[in-house]
Structure 1
Amino acid sequence: MFKLSVNVGVIFGLSSFFQLSAAELELFADSDVIGKPQIITAAYEDTFIKLARKYNLGYEELIQANPSVDPWLPGEGTEIVLPTQFILPKAERQGIVINLPELRLYYYPDGESGRVITHPISIGRMEWGTPLGRSEIISKAVNPTWYPPESIREEHAADNRPLPKVVPPGPDNPLGKHALRLSLPGYLIHGTNKPSGLGMRVTHGCIRMFPEDIEALFENVPIGTPVRIVNEPYKLGWTDNGFYLEAHPPLDEQTIDDAWTMTELTRAFVAATSEGQGTSFSWELAEVVAMRSLGIPEFISAERLATPSQHSK
């Protein structure tokens, strides 16, 4: 049976670890991989919720990358992998791209081909799924008023948590202080008054962001910005030394079996190789990475094709 080492250097296929300080990352023309991996040592008071906010990550991202660590009591001195390296989704690199299984948003500033901004998000839970497809930003609001749909008010009433017909701006408004309205009727990209739940499937279908993230996005995204919502649990990316695969657990509402996994991996492979990249990668490695679903780019080429360049180390 094939075994994949869990040594961190092998997991990433890379050797250097250092701290990033922002959600803005450099894009390279010859690579689908952005960012750098990090490892930190937990302090006594750390929890995954605290670390997620500090490093601009989602709660589930930290869970996936550290499956053997207690998220509430990591323990002083415990090494924590921060999943701060990403393979870009295969969607067009324009405007906003949201990858649902990844619980992450990417923003490509107009006219700036050398950078991308990425943030963790929350999305709709299973019975309130966030829809796939193309959309655009049609309006922006500071201190938005929330008009809960009747379906949400009925749900809250059934749980003895009645909602008013109108929720004004303020600390009790779940939209937070900033909202971007999509052309998909009823859907927003917005902030939150409960940031501790960021990075999970907890919304009624809207895209939820940390308050500081939506504020920054709000200031930079013009009305008319295209928004693409995709479903890519397996992202295959290329650097100048070979293929990397980043695997995330598929959405709960999808029926998952070995055939489905292989079909999705094949789709990712076809999307990558259609761009004229090499085809030398190991299906055996890819299957292992897909099963682990750590949410981290992992090297899956059958052999290294070149000496890694500086930005892919």
Structure 2
Amino acid sequence: MISQYHPLRRIKQVCVSSVALGAWLLASTAAADSSELPKGHFPLPEQGNMVGEVYTVTASEEGTLMDIARAHNVGYEEIRMANPDTSLWVPGEGTEVTIPGQFILPDEARTGIVINVAELRLYYYPEVEEGETPRVETYPIGIGRDAYNTPLGITETTMRLENPAWYPPESIRREAAERGDPAPSVVPPGADNPLGQYAILLDIPGYLIHGTNQPDGIGMRASRGCIRMHPEDIEAVFWRVPVGTQVNIIDSPIKVGWDAAERGYVQAFTATDETAYGMDTLLDVVGLIEHHEGGPSSADYEQVREVLERANGQIVPLT
């Protein structure tokens, strides 16, 4: 049974799951300089809990905001919230587009895979050889929509499937039949397969991490509970995540971070259960800041309240 959700409580449940992460890092894993790593790959910070940076790019005449997001390791909601006044489909040649490429690492053990459903993002902490710089990889994901929430808890990966066949569950076949468009009992590998080319089974029956033939849905709550990745992202991790890798699925819509200079930041997302953030939550967040700083801090209650109200995923420096 899944615990009742609280915005600042880590919700853990014993589930068994499989998560995979891929192979295109192999030529770059030895690089300690983050500028030499693939997008979304960072050395773990020696101080603080933040990686990456926010930057801007210039839109071309042909590209959509979704094209830009995919090229820069960002999902639908992330790019939309970072550019609220920019058209998704026709941003316009020469338009400056903000890339929200900075991340506060989840307040969880840095091992295996951590999936934050509120953030629509997966974090992978690969094992490293002695002398190798510890790192984190992060990828945008799609998760379960309303009534099909992705289950929370700690599980592990159980099996990897290349070119998987898809067996539509009974609920999908029933709905399709009611629409007068019966679904097949099995969809073979290929362009019409919604699992894409790679899938990693979790030890939660019926749930997996997989690719997709509809990449525009990455960064949305659009699946029936499975965790979707861009085809190139699932391929990148597929071969490198051992069977038995821990997968920790959490729902943490509020994150507090500190950079290497000990400057504080706060970030809030819309909770998957759409819980409103009240005074108790505000006091909890300020309490976390003060605890980190060893006593009463200069945190602005009004500023933190505004961040929680907006819940737009933007990382805001604490003044």
Per the normalisation by structure 1, the TM-score is 0.83
Q: Aligned-pair distance for 1:166?
A: 1.4
More helix by share: 1
Q: 2:274 aligns with which of 229, 254, 262?
A: 254
Moved >4 Å (runs of 4+): 18-21, 265-279
Among the aligned pairs, what percent are the same residue?
47
Q: Matches of 2:208 and 2:181 in 1, distance apart?
A: 23
Q: 111, 130, 134: which is aligned to 1:94?
A: 111
CA displacement, residues 227-258 of structure 1 (integer Å, 9 cap, x when unaligned): 1111111111112232111221222x3332x5
How far did residue 293 of structure 1 move? Answer: 2.8
Higher relative CO (Cα under 8 Å, sequence separation at least 6) belongs to: 2
Mapped to 1, the partners of 2:275 and 2:60 lie a distance apart of 39
The residue aligned with 1:128 is 148
Residue pairs, 1:154-193, within 5 angstroms: 154-193=174-213
CA distance 1:217–1:19, change in 2 (3 Å): closer
Q: Which moved more, 1:279-288 or 1:192-201?
A: 279-288
Structure 2 CA distance, aligned partners of 1:141 and 1:295? Answer: 33
Q: Distance in 2 between matches of 1:114 and 1:158?
A: 51
- Maintained 8 Å contact 2:43/2:133: no
Match of 1:65 among 82, 85, 89: 82
* Structure 2 residue corresponding to 1:139, chosen from 154, 159, 183: 159
Residue 314 (structure 2) pairs with residue 299 (structure 1): no
Report the alpha carbon displacement of residue 276 of structure 1 after superposing the two structures with TM: 6.8
User: Conserved in 2, the CA contact under 8 Å of 1:144 and 1:178?
Assistant: yes
Residue 45 to residue 139, structure 1, CA distance change in 2 (3 Å): same
Asked whether the equivalents of residues 44 and 136 of structure 2 are also in contact (C-alpha less than 8 Å), the reply is yes
Paired positions, count? 280
Residue 236 to residue 184, structure 1, CA distance change in 2 (3 Å): same
Gaps of 5+ in 1: 1-17, 303-313
Q: Distance in 1 between matches of 2:152 and 2:73?
A: 24
Distance of 2:79 and 2:317 partners within structure 1? 20
TM-score (norm 2): 0.81
- Of residues 36-45 and 95-104 in structure 1, the stretch that sits farther from structure 2 once superposed is 36-45
Q: CA RMSD in A?
A: 2.2
Counterpart AA for 2:202: L
Task: Mark the CA change 1:277 to 1:126 in structure 2 (over 3 Å): closer, same or farther.
Answer: farther
* Residues 251-276 of structure 1: CA deviation (Å, up to 9, x unaligned): 2x3332x52xx444444555666667
- Equivalent residue in structure 2 for 1:215, among 221, 235, 251: 235
- 1:12-35 CA-partner distances (Å, limit 9, x unpaired): xxxxxx998512112112111111
Deviation at 1:55, TM superposition (A): 1.0
Q: Counterpart amino acid of 2:57?
A: I
Cα pair distance change 1:29/1:278, threshold 3 Å: farther
